[in-house]
Structure 1
Amino acid sequence: MAISKLKLPQGVTALEFKNPVQLAEGQALAVAQQLRDAMAAQGTATLVVSGGRSPVAFFQQLAKQTLDWSSVVVSLADERWVPVEHADSNAGLLKRYLLQGPAAKAKFLSLYSASANLEDAAEQADRLLSELPAIDVLILGMGDDGHTASLFPNSPNLAEALQVDGVRRCWPMMAPTVPRQRLTMSRALLASAKHKILSISGQSKLTTLSNALAGNDVAAMPVRAFLQPTLEIYWCP
Structure 2
Amino acid sequence: MAISELKLPQGVTAHEYRTPALLADGLANDVAEQLRTAISARGEATLVVSGGRSPVAFFQQLAKQGLDWSSVTITLADERWVPVEHADSNAGLLKQHLLQGPAAKAKFLSLYSAAANLEDAAEQADRLLVELPGIDVLVLGMGDDGHTASLFPDSPNLGDALAPDGTRRCWPMLAPTVPHQRLTMSRALLATAKYTVLSISGSAKLTTLSAALASDDVAAMPIRAFLQPTLEIYWCP
Normalised TM-score (structure 2): 0.99
What residue is the counterpart of 1:65 in the other structure? Answer: 65
What residue is the counterpart of 1:15 in the other structure? Answer: 15
TM-fit CA distance, 1:225 = 0.1
TM-fit CA distance, 1:176 = 1.8
TM-fit CA distance, 1:116 = 0.2
Residue deviations 1:46-103 (CA, integer Å, cap 9, x gap): 0000000000000000000000000000000000000000000000000000000000
What residue is the counterpart of 1:148 in the other structure? Answer: 148
Question: What is the correspondence of 1:119-130 to structure 2 with a 5 Å cutoff?
Answer: 119-130=119-130
- 1:178 maps to 2:190: no
Aligned-partner residue type, residue 116 of structure 1: A
Equivalent-residue separation in structure 2 for 1:180 and 1:117 (angstroms): 13
- Partners of 1:39 and 1:45 within 8 A in 2: yes
Aligned-partner residue type, residue 35 of structure 2: L
Equivalent-residue separation in structure 2 for 1:179 and 1:45 (angstroms): 34
Question: What is the correspondence of 1:150-169 to structure 2 with a 5 Å cutoff?
Answer: 150-169=150-169
Equivalent-residue separation in structure 2 for 1:179 and 1:73 (angstroms): 29
TM-fit CA distance, 1:216 = 1.1
Normalised TM-score (structure 1): 0.99
TM-fit CA distance, 1:179 = 3.1
What residue is the counterpart of 2:43 in the other structure? Answer: 43
Q: Percent identity?
A: 81
- Partners of 1:212 and 1:221 within 8 A in 2: yes
Equivalent-residue separation in structure 1 for 2:191 and 2:179 (angstroms): 26
- Partners of 1:125 and 1:170 within 8 A in 2: yes
TM-fit CA distance, 1:177 = 3.0
What residue is the counterpart of 2:6 in the other structure? Answer: 6
Residue deviations 1:162-192 (CA, integer Å, cap 9, x gap): 0000000000000023333000000000010
- Partners of 1:80 and 1:179 within 8 A in 2: no
Residue deviations 1:190-230 (CA, integer Å, cap 9, x gap): 01000000000000000000000011100000000000010
Task: State the SS of the aligned residue for 1:15.
Answer: strand
Residue deviations 1:112-166 (CA, integer Å, cap 9, x gap): 0000000000000000000000000000000000000000000000000000000
What residue is the counterpart of 2:27 in the other structure? Answer: 27
Question: What is the correspondence of 1:104-115 to structure 2 with a 5 Å cutoff?
Answer: 104-115=104-115
Aligned residues: 237
Structure 2 gap segments, 5+ residues each: none
- 1:231 maps to 2:194: no
RMSD (CA atoms): 0.5
- 1:134 maps to 2:130: no
Equivalent-residue separation in structure 2 for 1:172 and 1:36 (angstroms): 33
